[in-house]
Amino acid sequence: MRIEPLIEKEALRRRVREIADRLWRDYADSPLTVLCVLEGAGRFTDDLLQHLAERGLVPERLDVRAHRSEGTVLGPVTIEHFDPDVLEGRDVLVIDDLADEGVTLQGILDIVDLGEPRTRKVCVLLDKVSRRIEPVPLDYVGFPIENVWVIGYGMDVDGEYRDLDWIGVLKDDRF
């Protein structure tokens, strides 16, 4: 197994700062609730919120875990231990690591919408548009990428490589 660099540490830091600047401009005057899709988006969310806090914006953060399979069978998206009613009337930003097929992300948005937020936007670090099945709306995108298996900066394979401070492409016969 080998890893090829895709996005270096400094490029990540710069882009996260740019997204935080946009978020601050968009939400400086309104309370914001951030919905972080774990595990992959945890580090991205941490860094975004740190930059926002430096500007005086401290959103409420809710962490969720979403699933759409049981064993090997794909089904509807479920979010563990989450009541969408807590989002009623709020400005909500869903943060995910990767927009791939869009099916899971759209399922999350459908659940969020049940809570009747005032506004709902989506922020992803990576956009793999070539694999999109569901046309999910992406309001803030870090980087568009090709159809490759990425690791690092919160993303893993079998629990490994999540702690890298850069993003790489996993080169392996399995992927």
Q: Is 100 a catalytic residue?
A: yes
The residues facing 165 across adjacent strands are none
CA 108 vs CA 17, 135, 137, 161, 171: distances in Å: 25, 13, 12, 25, 30
Calculate the CA 112 to chain-centre distance: 14
- How many helical (H) and strand (E) elements, i.e. helices and strands, does the chain have? 3, 9
Residue of 91, 96, 100, 127 marked catalytic: 100
Q: What is the set of active-site residues?
A: 100
